């Protein structure tokens, strides 16, 4: 493989790296000199089942390219998984420099039809999983005075998407988690950032295509927005060159990368005598209305569901 020294001798855990974006990041890390803990339960898209094969196959790919990697099949939804993953990195390679929280599942359902189990399953993998791994890694990073997190969020969380209340809530939760890690650990040299990828993955492929127009769009985006396009940004954020970058939200869409704004007040009004529901309706809302975010689907979402 074409080698780079950008991550030479560093060790990184990548969750959910048996395929898709996680696999692409793991391979890019290895190409850049890092040793990788390839974590993947090998579950189906909805989280069911388990298969050690995907993680082992990625490890074999990395070994064939001259890199170093070890497979791990822990479920990040398990509270003890974070400790086991960190121990795996330390036992296998003697150190830990970065974590990519990428593992995820989907159980899409319109909010009025979603069950508690469908909600819990998705939130536990995406948000709790990131928490379990991050909390365990923080102890190592704080002690050594360095470390970097990359969390995979989504435009479904940042701008919303139909039939994904569980997924959207978890992905927006990751933004808050990342920002808090960045603030809490800044003085210890620990960084935390998010990426919202637009890439053709199993999750995107699972969204029903309802028209010939969507099918044509799918073919274009499948060719253009590959998982490999996301990997360079993730690796950059884990490396020393990104030492001053923390608490940010980035996006990748094909050959385009961008940085997202983060919520801040847009307009304010003050009324010396205070507010009533009536004065809010009469005075405040007409002023604020020009700054409202429209309730419409955004082009950043690869596909959206038709209302049911």
149 contacts 234 by C-beta, under 8 angstroms: no
Q: How far is residue 264 from each of residues 140, 147, 237, 271, 298, measured CA to CA in Å? A: 33, 28, 24, 21, 20
| CA distance between the termini of the chain | 48
Q: Is 51 exposed, middle or buried (0-12, 13-18, 19+ CB in 10 A)?
A: middle
pLDDT exceeds 90 at position 68 = yes
Instruction: Tell me the pLDDT band of 208, cut-offs 50, 70 and 90.
Output: low
Q: Tell me the per-residue pLDDT of 268-302, one tens digit each, with 9 for 90 and over.
A: 999 999 999 999 999 999 999 999 998 875 666 65
Considering the candidates 128, 167, 236, 305, report the single residue annotated as catalytic. 167
Q: Any catalytic annotation for residue 167? A: yes
Q: Between 3.40.50.1820, 3.30.365.10, 3.50.50.60, 3.40.50.720, what CATH number should domain 11-259 receive?
A: 3.40.50.720
pLDDT exceeds 70 at position 56 = yes
Kindly report the pTM of this predicted structure: 0.90
pLDDT exceeds 50 at position 308 = no
3-state secondary structure of 10: coil
Q: Tell me the per-residue pLDDT of 121-137, one tens digit each, with 9 for 90 and over.
A: 999 999 999 999 999 99
């Amino acid at each position: 493989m074409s080698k780079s020294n950008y991550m030479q001798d560093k060790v990184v855990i990548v969750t959910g790296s048996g395929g898709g974006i996680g696999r692409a990041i793991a391979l890019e890390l290895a190409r850049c000199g890092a040793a990788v803990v390839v974590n993947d339960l090998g579950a189906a898209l909805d989280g069911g089942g388990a298969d050690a094969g995907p993680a082992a196959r990625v490890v074999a790919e990395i070994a064939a390219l001259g890199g170093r990697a070890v497979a791990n099949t822990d479920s990040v939804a398990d509270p003890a998984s974070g400790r086991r993953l960190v121990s795996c990195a330390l036992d296998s390679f003697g150190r830990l420099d970065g974590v990519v929280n990428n593992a995820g599942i989907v159980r899409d359902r319109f909010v009025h039809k979603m069950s508690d189990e469908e909600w819990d399953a998705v939130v536990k993998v995406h948000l709790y999983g990131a928490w379990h791994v991050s909390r365990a890694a923080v102890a190592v990073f704080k002690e050594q005075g360095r470390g970097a997190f990359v969390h995979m969020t989504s435009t479904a969380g940042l701008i919303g998407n139909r039939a994904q209340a569980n997924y959207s809530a978890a992905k927006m939760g990751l933004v808050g988690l990342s920002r808090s890690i960045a603030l809490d650990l800044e003085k210890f040299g620990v960084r935390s950032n998010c990426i919202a990828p637009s890439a053709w993955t199993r999750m995107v492929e699972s969204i029903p295509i309802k028209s010939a127009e969507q099918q044509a769009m799918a073919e274009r985006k499948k060719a253009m927005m590959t998982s490999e396009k996301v990997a360079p940004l993730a690796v950059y954020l884990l490396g020393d060159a990104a030492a001053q970058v923390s608490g940010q939200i980035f996006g990748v869409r094909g050959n385009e990368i961008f940085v997202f704004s983060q919520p801040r007040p847009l307009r304010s009004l003050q009324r010396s005598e205070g507010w009533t529901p009536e004065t809010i309706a009469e005075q405040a809302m007409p002023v604020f209305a020009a700054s409202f975010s429209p309730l419409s689907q955004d082009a950043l979402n690869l596909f959206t569901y038709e209302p049911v």
